């Protein structure tokens, strides 16, 4: 079986050949054929390196990933309504009556009393007096734009539950491992 001329094992064998050539004084090139001592040593050294990589945790120091929210649905929300809005077209009428009724005795008191009664009737509607329909938009139909976070593993539930702005946070909240299939590719 011929040696595969690529990968970590091959690089280790080539390092032995180069080291022999560059030694002072130069050494004869080692036997790197299949089954030779150098080939077996490179084989086991490569496996030892891969095993060490599999056991090691590596820290990701930067990750840039767009987050796309596809749909946003909210319940109906209570809305506060201003008094002037609820008085509607009657607000200017009441103001005008007060203005023109000024010279008439008692009209000002009558208008103020009428305003207080109207206010009393509509006051319960000022806070939460209307409903804003829930939002139901998607990125396709409503042009939804949003921010968020990406994660691999368990969901942290909120951006507030993790901070990766310093080395401690990066160490605590990021991990990467060399998977078996990828390890086989570099052997």
pLDDT, tens digit, 9 for 90 and up, residues 131-146? 777 778 777 777 777 7
Mean pLDDT over the full length of the chain: 80
Of residues 103 and 4, more confidently modeled? 4
Contact in structure between 148 and 117 (CB atoms under 8 Å): no
Cα angle at 97 between 94 and 100, to 5 degrees?
Answer: 150
pLDDT, tens digit, 9 for 90 and up, residues 12-37? 999 999 999 999 999 999 999 999 99
Give the pLDDT confidence score for residue 42 in this predicted structure.
95
Give the pLDDT confidence score for residue 1 in this predicted structure.
64
Segment 115-138 shows an average pLDDT of 76
Kindly indicate the confidence band of residue 61, based on its pLDDT and cuts at 50, 70 and 90.
Answer: low
pLDDT, tens digit, 9 for 90 and up, residues 137-186? 777 777 777 767 777 777 766 666 677 778 887 777 777 777 777 777 77
Residue bearing tokens 């009441």 = 94
pTM confidence score: 0.48
Of residues 73 and 49, more confidently modeled? 49
Residues 33, 38, 40, 42, CA torsion sign: negative
> What are the extents of the domains in the chain?
71-138
Residue bearing tokens 């206010």 = 119
């Amino acid at each position: 079986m011929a040696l595969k001329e690529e990968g970590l094992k091959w690089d280790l064998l080539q390092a032995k050949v180069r080291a022999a050539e560059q030694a002072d004084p130069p050494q004869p090139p080692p036997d790197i054929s299949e089954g030779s001592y150098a080939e077996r040593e490179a084989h086991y050294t490569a496996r030892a390196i891969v095993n060490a990589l599999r056991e090691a945790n590596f820290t990701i120091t930067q990750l840039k990933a767009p987050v796309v929210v596809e749909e946003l649905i909210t319940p109906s929300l209570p809305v506060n309504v201003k008094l002037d809005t609820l008085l509607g077209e009657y607000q200017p009428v009441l103001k005008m009556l007060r203005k023109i009724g000024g010279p008439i005795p008692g009209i000002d008191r009558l208008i103020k009393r009428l305003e207080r009664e109207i206010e009393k009737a509509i006051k319960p509607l000022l806070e939460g007096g209307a409903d804003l329909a829930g939002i139901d938009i998607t990125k396709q139909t409503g042009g939804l734009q949003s921010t968020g976070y990406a994660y691999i593993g368990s969901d942290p539930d909120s951006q507030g539950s993790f901070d990766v702005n310093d080395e401690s946070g990066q160490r605590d909240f990021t991990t990467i491992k060399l998977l078996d299939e990828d390890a086989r590719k570099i052997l």
